[in-house]
Amino acid sequence: MLGLAQLDRLGLIELKPQNRYRLKVAKTFRWRPNGPVMQFFREHGVSDYFSGGFDGDCELLSLVHGQIGHAAAWVFQERLQRLAEDFARQHRADQRLPAAQKRPLTLVLGMRAWLFAPLRAQLRPDGEATSPPAG
């Protein structure tokens, strides 16, 4: 796991005295596809983040699968970006609240062309599902 000094050297934070820090990237920055921040999160954050039960106060994990048109996918992408911006604005608005009235929350939003590997193995060349394997 990277420490605060390493994050400081990477330019992601500004390390301050007593292990305090200032984030140097926007709350709603977009990762460069397969770039260094995305790679760092994959290597150090994904298993830690998703190891939680998502059953605590204010926690939610939802996965929705479907097939929608290309134009609708762009609309959803824009809506997800606005949701991320709303979350960041609320974070800034709540900065002056006492610590006892806040809790650290991380919002992960993602949408991509993806099908779970065992299901992907059941697709015909035309993209339609085959019958499930017997057993």
Answer yes or no: is pLDDT of 37 > 90: no
Average pLDDT of every residue of the chain: 84
pLDDT digits (tens, 9 = 90+) for 76-88: 999 999 999 999 9
Q: What is the pLDDT of residue 128?
A: 65
CA distance 113 to 103: 32
Answer yes or no: is pLDDT of 98 > 90: yes
Largest CA distance in the chain: 62
Question: Residue 129 — pLDDT band, cuts 50, 70, 90?
Answer: low
State the average pLDDT over residues 104-122.
81
Exposure string for 38-76, b = 16+ CB within 10 A, e = fewer: eebeeeeeeeeeeeeeeeeeeeeeeeeeeeeeeeeeeee
Q: For residue 84, give both structure tokens.
A: 């991320």
